[in-house]
Structure 1
Amino acid sequence: MGLPLPAFSFHAWVRLLLGLLLLLVGPAAYATHIVGGEMELQYRRGNTYTLRLNLYFDAINGNPGALDQQMTASIFDKANNRRMQNVVLPLTSNTFVQYTNPACTTPTLSTRKLVYALDITLEPAMYNSTAGYYAAVERCCRNNGISNIVNPQNAAQTFYLEFPAVVRNGRPFIDSTPRIFPPLGDYACRGEMFYYDFGGQDTDGDSLVYDMVTPLNGYSNTVDPSPLQAQPSPYSGITWGAGRSTANQIPGNPTLGIDSRTGRLTVRPSQLGLFVFGVRCTEYRQKVKIGETRRDFQLYVLNCPQNTPPSLQVYNGTGKLPAYVPGRDTLHLVPGGNRCLRIRFTDPDPISRLTLTTRPVNFSGLAPSFTSITTGMVRTAGAPDTLTATLCFPECQDTKGQVYLLDVIVADNGCSLPKLDTVRVAFTALPPPNTPPVLTSTFPTEVTGSAPVIVRIPVGGTYTATLAGTDTDRDPLALSAVGQGFDLAAAGMQFTAQNGTGRADGTFTWQASCEAAAVQENLMVQFRLQETTKCTPSPVVRTVQFVVLPPVDTVRFLPPNIITPNGDGKNDAFELPTLPPDYCDGRFAGIKIYSRWGNEVFHSPERTFRWNGAGSTGMYYYLITFTNGRRYKGWVQVLP
């Protein structure tokens, strides 16, 4: 005979059944699968932003049942943790994270990038707190094999970002959070230097600062692995294992660190294992913090085959001279002289593929280029032990008296990341001599240091100017004219040029019209004289402003002030044939005539009006208005 069942309430039975159900399906719900992730908030238009969660999923050990089809993000006010809204983010993309070198793929490491995103509205009337806001997504659990935290299979993760109010001082304050560079699919080798660029991009041009932070744990757990909404902050961090901390997340010499300005990660790991780490990117505008985003990620450290770094030497000219010595030598490139370097590069390891690149250190714009091979195999069948290449500087390179620095880099195809050798070349360069061209024109004389020359033409008038460019070096010249924010033809302007060697001529014509006045308030035209040589210097530029004036009055406006409506044919009516002419938006709107007591006695919208004095002598007053707000006032006396 069985024992009697204990007396349970209905709710107790429900809780018991739910607990049994969690035991049965729990592994699929909270399977250890999360590699890491970060959130982004990108401005779209108006009050619309895209809220995005990039989640990195362990494609080897993660349970497919734990791959969510949607995630819930919660937005809070930083000032008081007030919940602003919950946003359900659907899964929009599922791709693999790529290796830097696909040949280094290992079957023990494969990561998926899951993107959850949705366009949301941030109304200025609602999102105006000066403290700013934060968004969070909570999910459990992390990979079971993580080496540097306690109980990783029970450790959760909170994805987190901060953003400012969308309005400041009554005006829109537009900001997109930084977008951290793509995550690494690579592993690190024990005892070898590992490096990776986590530096971000900011569409608003804000300053970005990076530091290491403890990954966030938050409130989700194995019982509630995917909450319907995130809890407000503060969020607890993960629990570091023995000897680990925010400043020592991955053991090594050096330990894992990040460059605060560039976001470049470096570590020479000293232990094997899987290590989680956290990076924060803080955003500043005018030296004031306006937001931040965090990335949690993992780094797998393996034993790798021995890889000896490649080496290179740089020679000036033919390669017979002594090799260039960084820090001691400086190249001086002059017109007519040698502007090429010879490079010899090799690798002691067998079957190595080497690749040459260059990287400007303190300059931009013109840079040298290779005129021969930049990639090749060494120490394999049919391949030499050493490769050579030629690097040439442009004839027009001009360092403007400064010393420019250029890194010449050779990389091998070693795993997990290429080994490098770098020679930093210091150089100065002078371009070929050149006398600037001269631009003359029939435009009014420009006053040095003043605003652009202004040409004023009455509506209906035509203006013509000629331009001439000359060059004593007999270089090819080209003249052009460009409207600043408008099309020349739309404003009734035309420019033709005859370009040639040592001389260029141009003719500019303009038909001033009401249409031209309506195109743009300030019709600014930039005339440019450009040398079209291989070394193209800055153009000679002249800017002219064109203004449409009202028509010139052919008759002076002198209204009569006495009429005698006696029928003798002389001054019988008040009329104004000499009114200022209509001009574009300045057209005759009407006349009103008032008695001395302010009573209206006459009005007319017609320019050709006639008033015969209303049959009463005395003093009267008139008001004439135009459509552009122009007004004329006066008096007229009616005599017998």
Structure 2
Amino acid sequence: MDLQYLRGDTYQLTLNLYFDAVNGSPGALDTDLTAGIFDKATNRRLANVLLPLISTSFVSYTNPACTVGSLSTKALVYRSIVELPAGTYNGAQGYYAAVERCCRNVTISNIIAPANAAQTFYLEFPAVTRGGKTFRDSTPRVFPPLADYACLGEVFTYDFAGQDPDGDSLVYDMVTPLNGHSTPTDPKPAQAVSAPYTEVIWAAGRSQSNQIPGAPALTIGARTGRLSVRPTATGLFVFGVRCTEYRQGQKIGETRRDFQLQVLTCPKNIAPSLQLLPGTSGSAVYRPGRDTLRIVAGGLHCVRLRFTDPDPRSQLSLSLRPVSYSGPLPTFTTATSGMVRAAGLPDTLVASLCFSDCTDTKGQVGYLDVLVADNGCSLPKHDTVHVAFIGVPPPNAPPTLTSTAGPTLPLHVRPGQTLAFDLIATDADSDPILFTLTGSPSSFVPSALGATIVPQGQVGTTRRARFTWPIDCRAIADPPGTVRQLVFTATSTTPCGTQLASAPLSIPVIVDYSNVPPVLTSTLPPASPAPADPPLIRLPLGQPYTATLTGFDADTDVLTLSAAGQGFDLASAGMRFTTTPSPAGQASGRFEWLPGCDAASVLNGKPQTLTVTFQLQEATCRPQPQTRTVRFQVIDPDTAAFTPPNIILPTGPNLANRVFTMSNLPPDFCDTRFAGIKIFSRWGRLVYESGDRNFHWAGENAAGIYYYLLTFTTGRRFKGWVEVVQ
């Protein structure tokens, strides 16, 4: 079995069952199996997982020509999705899954009563959390299926090494297959029983360390997973292999696998033989362990191979296997396979093996195996020549790099300028050249600031490139004046693919920048010592106001004058600001205001205050704008002189005092206009009302105290009293 992580809490559980299609009962081909999942610490059942059969296929032999009728294997794959939530699967000792099924093949030779022997498929896996953190693990997918047979008295090997998707360490050992709890009367239990599981009983002379009779007996490489045995008896033998999974030196899981191996009496097959002849002629034979091939420029790069087999009609093939060399392998330049000792065919085949000019063992001795294999059964037999060699590629020098920058260094530039010069790289071997650019310190990345290298075509040994850097505000260092390095490298690529770099070429550069704030002058009132209380300019309706503003910049930066109202548009308030074209470093502007009613609206009984901010802005990398703020207000007509009369004499001798009138009413002011007057008796009775600001009230021939209310359109009101004397 194997358990693979998919996402979140979701995993995939797979059972691979290899079925003996010759000796197995067709009734044992299940359409599904049930796996139980248990807590390893308590053996408590946590879940049952139904595994449906999803595929069936025959397992191929390593050499299909060796097929025998007594051995045919089917691969049955059962699979399902399982959820492993962290709240449940967090036990320190981990968990195990098991499937139980009876029974084994009756023809098995190395266990007692194989027809009654059951099998338990077993897998251990870790908790999905460890130390309070998520712990993800996919168990190893181990061993390819075994379809081959072994031959009596011949060494049989098979690669059982697994693959772990997490890169965990895998260790292999031989184990006794598990029997478990299923029986011939209950061959397919509804669910697996928890551990412990009984083991099969070995036949006389057999044990965990001697599962198949052999000299040597069946073993597996602890790290390689390579199975090996030289059988000394024929028969069908079952054996068990365990793969234990480790992460950071701690065991996190294991999986067990049972297999069957059939041992047959095979036709005698003698191994082929191989000779390596280093020279272009002659019969001198390479001697492994004593001779070392030297692959150097101008020397021999090819060797001859002679291979044969004493068996008639033997089909031979050559192959290579690197041992301690990771470079390009030599190639066969002639046929690498053929038949010997058949009618019209030679007894010995010849091939050529040629090393590349680029063979490079980097001063060490490299090793590779040259193998010849026959087509014998059950597995091919080999002969191997272990070849030692030293490879030295043709000499090649790195390029040199110069530039046209200078001659005075460091280079000084300012924002707005463009730094440009040529790079010249020379490679004596005429190898292709590429240019690269970095900066020092590491925070200085010229390419991110717009610097580019445009290579030109390479002519012979020389290639040029144009370096261009338009200096803008991003290029200013902190503090300004800091020396930074443009670091160039030329890299050539040799015919062998090796890249050789020139010595770095460093060009120091300083981006000069300084800035004096511009000066703003004006005819506006002086600025207030308290910035929150700008000066106030009050003007009556219709009286124009003019102010001039000028700017000067010692750095001759382009200056811009502007004016903006705070919360209002200048034009809507009768204001206008215009500027005059000026040379760099200078600016002039004119502010004009003709106060009108649009600027005189009253808020909460008070004339509105209009705030205008004037700004002098410089076109530079780190501008220091200058501002002036002024408040403006339309003067409200003075009402202090408004003193209405408070006595009238309707019958008196003075005509001016005979009627109640108000010749000095506050004047109409934009939206503030006279609305009317109401006169009330002392008992609140309305006795007179008029909307004419030139009203006249004669007193109605009734002496006494009367009260009046004057109203204006904006809600302004005046109250008072007047006495009528008869």
8 Å Cα contact 2:327/2:360 also seen in 1? no
**What is the match of residue 472 of structure 1?**
428
Of 52, 69, 72, which residue of structure 2 is paired with 1:107?
Answer: 69
**1:165, distance to aligned residue in structure 2 (A):** 2.0
Partner of 2:197: 235
TM norm structure 1? 0.71
Q: How does 1:347-496 map to 2 (within 5 A)?
A: 347-438=309-400, 469-479=425-435, 496=454
Q: Tell me the distance in 1 between the aligned counterparts of 2:363 and 2:346.
A: 41
Aligned equivalent of 2:290, options 328, 342, 349: 328
Residue 143 (structure 1) aligned with residue 88 (structure 2): no
CA contact (8 A) 1:148 1:275 kept: yes
For residues 427 and 244 of structure 1, what CA distance do their matches in structure 2 show?
A: 46
In 2, are the aligned partners of 1:492 and 1:513 still within 8 Å (CA)?
no
Q: CA deviation at 1:63?
A: 2.2
Partner deviation per Cα, 1:561-614 (whole Å, 9 max, x = no partner): 633345149xx78999999x9x9xxxxxxxxxxxxxxxxxxxxxxxxxxxxxxx
How large is the RMSD of aligned CA atoms in angstroms? 4.0
Partner residue, 1:505: 465
Deviation of residue 536 (structure 1)?
2.7
Q: Which has the higher mean CA deviation after the structures are superposed, 311-320 or 186-195?
A: 311-320
Please state whether the residue corresponding to 1:237 is helix, strand or coil.
coil
Taking the aligned partners of 2:376 and 2:432, their CA distance within structure 1 comes to 51
1:224: Cα distance to partner? 1.7
How far apart in 2 are the matches of 1:532 and 1:392?
20
Say whether the 8 Å CA contact 2:491–2:500 is kept in structure 1.
no
- Cα shift at 1:526: 12
Tell me, what secondary structure is at the counterpart of 2:298?
coil
CA distance in 2, matches of 1:527, 1:131: 56
User: Which letter maps to 2:64?
Assistant: P
1:179 aligned counterpart, secondary structure: coil
Amino acid at match of 2:90: N
* Post-superposition offset of 1:554: 9.5
Distance 1:138 1:469, change over 3 A: farther
- State the shift of 1:230 in Å: 1.5
The answer on 1:216 being equivalent to 2:172 is no
State the alpha-carbon separation in 2 of the partners of residues 168 and 442 from structure 1.
Answer: 62
Q: 1:123 Cα deviation (Å)?
A: 2.2
- CA distance in 2 between counterparts of 1:138 and 1:541 reads 69
SS of equivalent residue, structure 2 residue 369 = strand
* 1:286 matched to 2:248: yes
- 8 Å Cα contact 1:138-1:220 kept in structure 2: yes
Choose which of 307, 311, 326 in structure 2 pairs with 1:345. 307
Distance 1:92 1:489, change over 3 A: farther
**Please, which of 232, 245, 258 is the counterpart of residue 270 of structure 1?**
232
Q: 2:157, 2:228 within 8 Å by CA — same for their partners in 1? A: yes
Corresponding letter in the other structure for 1:385: D
CA separation of 1:336 and 1:232: change in aligned 2, threshold 3 A: same
Letter in 2 for 1:59: A
Among 508, 519, 533, the alignment partner of 1:564 is 533
In 2: Cα distance, 1:54 partner to 1:208 partner: 19
Q: Distance in 1 between matches of 2:499 and 2:335?
A: 31
Consecutive unaligned residues in structure 1, runs of 5 or more: 1-38, 444-458, 483-487, 515-524, 545-551, 584-640
Mean Cα displacement is larger for which, 414-423 or 500-509? 500-509
Residue 44 to residue 574, structure 1, CA distance change in 2 (3 Å): same
How many angstroms apart in 2 are the aligned matches of 1:526 and 1:58? 68
3-state secondary structure, aligned to 1:61: coil
CA contact (8 A) 2:420 2:468 kept: yes
Aligned residue identity for 1:475: D
1: distance between equivalents of 2:394 and 2:258?
Answer: 53
Q: 1:513 to 1:152 in 2, by over 3 A?
A: farther
- How far 1:460 moved relative to its partner? 13
How far apart, in 2, do the equivalents of 1:560 and 1:120 lie? 77
CA distance in 2, matches of 1:278, 1:167: 31
Q: Go from structure 1 to structure 2 and tell me whether the alpha carbon gap of 1:60 and 1:537 turns closer, same or farther (over 3 Å shift).
A: same
Partner of 1:245: 207
Question: 1:478 touches 1:499 (CA, 8 Å); kept in 2?
Answer: no
1:69 is aligned, of 27, 31, 41, to 31
Preserved contact between residue 401 and residue 489 of structure 2 (Cα < 8 Å): no
The offset of 1:332, in angstroms, is: 2.0
Over 3 Å counting, the alpha-carbon distance change for 1:365 and 1:578 in structure 2 is same
In 2: Cα distance, 1:169 partner to 1:463 partner: 58
The 3-state SS of whatever aligns with 1:434 is coil
- Aligned partners of 2:120 and 2:250: how far apart in 1? 25
Displacement after TM superposition at 1:64 (Å): 2.0
| Letter aligned with residue 98 of structure 1 | S
Which structure has more relative contact order (CA 8 Å, sep 6+)? It is: 1
SS at match of 1:562: coil
- With over 3 angstroms needed to count, the CA separation of the structure-2 counterparts of 1:115 and 1:472, relative to structure 1, is same
- Aligned counterparts, 1:39-78, within 5 A: 39-78=1-40
Question: How far is 1:156 from its partner?
Answer: 0.9
Cα distance, 1:468 vs. partner? 5.8
Q: Aligned equivalents of 1:55 and 1:526: distance in 2?
A: 62
Distance verdict in 2 for CA 1:283–1:467, change over 3 Å: farther
The letter for the 2-side match of 1:537 is Q
Change (3 A) 1:81 1:326: same
Q: Distance in 1 between matches of 2:39 and 2:61?
A: 39
One of 257, 277, 283 as aligned partner of 1:315: 277
Taking the aligned partners of 2:473 and 2:64, their CA distance within structure 1 comes to 65
Residues 573 and 313 of structure 1, relative CA distance in 2, 3 Å threshold: same
Q: Which amino acid counterpart does residue 110 of structure 1 have in structure 2?
A: S
Match status 1:116 vs 2:78: yes
What corresponds to 2:145 in structure 1? 183
Instruction: Give the secondary-structure state (helix, strand or coil) at the position aligned to 1:160.
Output: strand
CA shift, 1:339, in A, is 1.4
Structure 2 CA distance, aligned partners of 1:299 and 1:491? 69
Q: Report how far residue 227 of structure 1 moved.
A: 1.8
Measured at CA, do residues 98 and 574 of structure 1 come closer, stay the same or move farther in structure 2, by a change above 3 Å? Answer: same
Deviations 1:419-468, CA, capped at 9 Å, x for gaps: 1111101111111111123567999xxxxxxxxxxxxxxx9999999866
The aligned amino acid for 1:406 is L
TM, length-normalised to structure 2: 0.63
Q: Which residue type is aligned with residue 180 of structure 2?
A: G
1:226 aligns with 2:188: yes
Letter in 2 for 1:471: D
1:146, 1:264 → 2: CA distance? Answer: 23
Deviation at 1:389, TM superposition (A): 0.8
Over residues 394-430 of structure 1, what are the superposed CA-to-partner deviations in whole Å (9 max), with x where a residue is unaligned?
2111111211111111100000000111110111111
Could you say what secondary structure the match of 1:373 adopts? coil
SS in 2 for 1:117: strand
Structure 2 vs 1, CA of residues 474 and 149 (structure 1 numbering), >3 Å: closer, same or farther? same
SS of match in other structure, 1:341: strand
* 1:130 equivalent among 77, 81, 92: 92
* Bigger radius of gyration: 2
Structure 2 contact 422–464 (Cα < 8 Å) conserved: no
Q: CA deviation at 1:49?
A: 2.1
TM-fit CA distance, 1:184: 1.9
Give the whole-Å Cα distance in 1 for the aligned partners of 2:492 and 2:134: 41
1:316–1:340 contact (8 Å) kept in structure 2: yes
Change (3 A) 1:332 1:533: closer
Output the amino acid matched with 1:374: T
Aligned equivalent of 1:195, options 149, 154, 157 = 157
1:464 & 1:82 partners in 2: Cα distance? Answer: 77
Kept in 1: contact 2:330–2:354 (CA 8 A): yes
Structure 2 residue runs without a partner (length 5+): 406-414, 439-445, 475-486, 507-513, 519-527, 539-610, 623-726
Paired residue for 1:257, among 199, 208, 219? 219
